[in-house]
Amino acid sequence: MQNLKQSISLKAILSKRQITTLFQPILDIEKETVLGYEALSRGPENSSFFSPVELFAQAEKDACLSELELLCREKAIENFVAQGLPGKLFINVSPSALLEAAHPKGETLQLLAKHGLATSRVVIEITEREPLAQSDLLFEAIKHYRDLGLHIAIDDFGSGYSGLKQWSELKPDIVKIDRYFIDHCDKSVVKKEFLRSILELAKITNTRVIAEGIERTQELTLLKNLGVELAQGFLLERPVLSPCQSFDECIAAQKLVDMPRNTKDDSPFIGNLLLSQQSIFVTTNCGVAKKYFEQDKLLQSLVVLNQDNRPVGILHRDQLAEIFSSTYGAALHSKRSVDEVMDHQPLVVDRLTALDSVSQKITDSDFDIRRYIIVTQEGQYVGVVAIRDILKHITDEKIKNAQHANPLTMLPGNVAINDNIERRLNARQDFELAYIDLNHFKQFNDLYGYASGDMVIKLLAEICRQVCNQKDCFIGHIGGDDFMLVCPSDLGEALCRKIISEFETAVRAYFTPEHVAAGGYWATNREGEKKFVPLLTLSIGLVNPDIEHCENSHQVAALATDAKKEAKRFVTSHLFICKRRRPTMAIVRLPVAK
């Protein structure tokens, strides 16, 4: 009865033309333009046929695949033209449908003519997931499309039966690499080598390559470094009814970093660990949810959304398995809404939430390490992050920072300082940078000894830690007696003045009472001259860099270095707040430790 019901429902969908077209942009990340859009068809939202897998599987069973594909094709062309979308339209075509005897000839050309879309703007995507029993007929059909002026692409390359053979014989204009080889490619040597081989073959055959299924910035960075020019995936934009129509609009909508500047493999934001995860609606019944878990053995959770695409809960595989395990479990629960069994209090965070903040929430709430965190953007569901991945990333980050930490103060060193500044630049976060330097430190070291000098440096480090012990503040130790403070805008002045005040009070304990009373001491300089040296003071240069014009951490550090030089003109401790926000040099280096 269930199969019959679905068959009738599919026929109703076809007769009522209840197909919705979503579009996902394909970006040229080299030229920073939109190459085009892949059209993705969906059935009615509150039915199992909203899933394209179920929709097309049922059509194949009912021998109406050709009819469904033609309806999807017409809807795609109609909506693409109606929205005035730029670039090319990518349409998925199943070889099975092309080979059906009933498949009408010339229908695509008529549709394009009807809606005024040039054939040169259409790409036919041939899926590579099926064995080609009648390859000669398929090649003939492809030749027909190419003769009409349409472009040909192989979809999901590397996932199926005859990839290299299809590439060799079809001679496609475009090859789309299957997302299996994209997923965490930055962590797999095998996948990296596969991608390199594909790109080399593409150059030889003059074929363009699209990396699809990109979900993490680390993947995008690696792909760019390998030479991939065309990209598609949830990281750039999810399939939607009305997609962004320009490269800049797409990047801004996803709150991504400036991609040409994105050279780092790590980031403190949870959105960069994002994974695509199947979602269902709160009206979905447990029986349908159970099918999703059966179809994907690796799927551990289903995010539950309301009609506004906002997460309201999460359904775990083990929860559902438990209620179906009893004798009458299926009979009692199949028709009930998942709302009755789901977790109503999942951890939901915005994609720009700092990983440290998320980690704190995990430990405070004692979450099961096997679970997932739901990630949103402006309240809309965008994916999930595994708690294990968050904890692993934080651990790896701490290990890396420890490797570069200053051995005297254990504060992060130059590498971590640069990373922190770059992250804020990439995330378009307005911030301030303070360069903190000790005055008269060499003379103090010469008179009181290096042990006392080390103690003073540790004192300054501890004062900086305590004063800046608040959200989103960062203290780094360049080396010697130089420190860097990075903090949100409007906090820098108050923090720096407090550091000066507390240091001047505490450092007196490291001088003799006589020197404190005199405000300094006499010492011989390098020329053999006696000179009065004041007590230790601080010079701090504070800048608020223009994030639109500073391209890297070195330019920001140069601004702070110039400000610190101005502060050192004063005899007493001084905070110099620099009004200049833009760099004057293309590239400079972080100040070298004394």
- The answer, yes or no, to whether residue 349 has pLDDT greater than 70, is yes
Among residues of the chain, what percentage have pLDDT more than 70? 86
CA 507 to chain centre: 45
DSSP run (H or E) holding 385: strand 380-386
> For position 270, what pLDDT does the model report?
80
Mean pLDDT of 521-538: 88
- Residues 159 and 181: their CA atoms lie apart, in Å, by 9
- The answer, yes or no, to whether residue 263 has pLDDT greater than 70, is no
- The answer, yes or no, to whether residue 3 has pLDDT greater than 70, is no
- Confidence band (pLDDT; 50, 70, 90) for 542? very high
> For position 327, what pLDDT does the model report?
77
Mean pLDDT of 399-403: 66
- The answer, yes or no, to whether residue 76 has pLDDT greater than 90, is yes
For 37, 201, 380, the CA distances from 553, given in Å and listed in that order, are 36, 37, 33
pTM of the model: 0.47
Q: What is the DSSP letter of 234?
A: T
| Contact yes or no for 546/581 (Cβ under 8 A) | yes
- Confidence band (pLDDT; 50, 70, 90) for 59? confident
CA 202 to chain centre: 27
> For position 361, what pLDDT does the model report?
76
| Contact yes or no for 65/96 (Cβ under 8 A) | yes
Higher pLDDT, 500 or 382: 500
Higher pLDDT, 460 or 399: 460
Q: Which residues contact 579 (CB under 8 A, 6 or more apart)?
A: none
Torsion angles phi and psi, residue 464, rounded to 5: -60, -40
| Contact yes or no for 397/408 (Cβ under 8 A) | no
Higher pLDDT, 47 or 565: 565
Q: Exposed, middle or buried: residue 566 (CB in 10 Å: 0-12, 13-18, 19+)?
A: middle
Q: Residue 132's closest CA among 141, 124, 123?
A: 141
- Residues 300 and 368: their CA atoms lie apart, in Å, by 13
Residue showing tokens 């053995």 = 297
**Most confident by average pLDDT, 214-223, 265-274, 463-472, 504-513:** 504-513
- Residues 82 and 436: their CA atoms lie apart, in Å, by 59
Across 519-592, the runs of DSSP E, i.e. the strands, are: 520-524, 530-534, 537-543, 574-577
- Confidence band (pLDDT; 50, 70, 90) for 138? low
Q: Residue 83's closest CA among 117, 130, 122?
A: 117
Digit-coded pLDDT (tens) for 565-592 = 999 999 899 999 999 998 864 444 444 4
Q: Exposed, middle or buried: residue 100 (CB in 10 Å: 0-12, 13-18, 19+)?
A: middle
Digit-coded pLDDT (tens) for 99-111 = 665 566 678 888 8
Q: Residue 258's closest CA among 303, 224, 289, 296?
A: 224
Digit-coded pLDDT (tens) for 307-343 = 888 899 999 888 888 888 887 778 887 888 888 889 8
What mean pLDDT value characterizes the chain?
Answer: 83
> For position 135, what pLDDT does the model report?
59
- Residues 249 and 268: their CA atoms lie apart, in Å, by 24
